[in-house]
Amino acid sequence: MATAPNKVTVILVRGLFGMIWSRGMDTLAGKLKAAGYNTQVWNHSWFFLAWFAYKEEIAAEVARLTKAGQTVVLVGHSFGANVLLMAARLIPTTRIPLLLAVDPAQQYDCSVSSNVQTAYGFRNTVGGLGQGALRPRAGVFDIPVRQTHGYMDDEPSVQNRVIAEIAKL
């Protein structure tokens, strides 16, 4: 039986310059909220290195929500996906049932920690930014998408798949 939506919190993280880009995370959060899920959309400051500090805050929030009985799902676009991968590594004893990485930056470590049960990496095949493929292991899936990096978070096929995977919990 699927987990009741009100028992699931989806943490969505925008990419670098998320005040301008990665607005598809807001659209996705709205769709999830309308379906009854709890959502949090995280942004970063204009200072690039702030994201490296936020990974610790996000990890603490995931651990807190999990201890409170919530099922926590992580969804990130671009560098926001990389930050979620980093945050998951900080809490190795906290079970994360689902992580969805929307075109993570390839220049950062795209390995998925063992506490993440299932991970999907939506990787743009058009070129340019992003294109980070999650490191293969059991429970990790690479999904090539023909879309540019800047529009991956708005891509209907990506958003629909994210929602469908969350609904399976």
Tell me the backbone φ, ψ of residue 12, rounded to 5 degrees: -110, 135
Confidence band (pLDDT; 50, 70, 90) for 43? confident
* Domain annotation for the chain: domains and CATH numbers: 5-167 (3.40.50.1820)
Task: Give the β-pairing of 71-77 and 96-102.
Answer: parallel
3-state secondary structure the chain: CCCCHHHEEEEEECCCCCCCCCCHHHHHHHHHHHCCCEEEEECCCCCCCHHHHHHHHHHHHHHHHHHCCCEEEEEEECHHHHHHHHHHHHCCCCCEEEEEEECCECCCCCCCCCCEEEEEEEEECCCCCCECCCCCCCCEEEEEECCCHHHHHHCHHHHHHHHHHHHCC
Model confidence over 49-61: pLDDT tens digits?
566 678 999 999 9
Provide the pLDDT for residue 25. Answer: 94
Q: In the block, which residue shows the tokens 């906290």?
A: 94
Model confidence over 78-133: pLDDT tens digits?
989 999 999 999 999 999 999 999 999 998 899 999 999 999 999 999 877 888 99
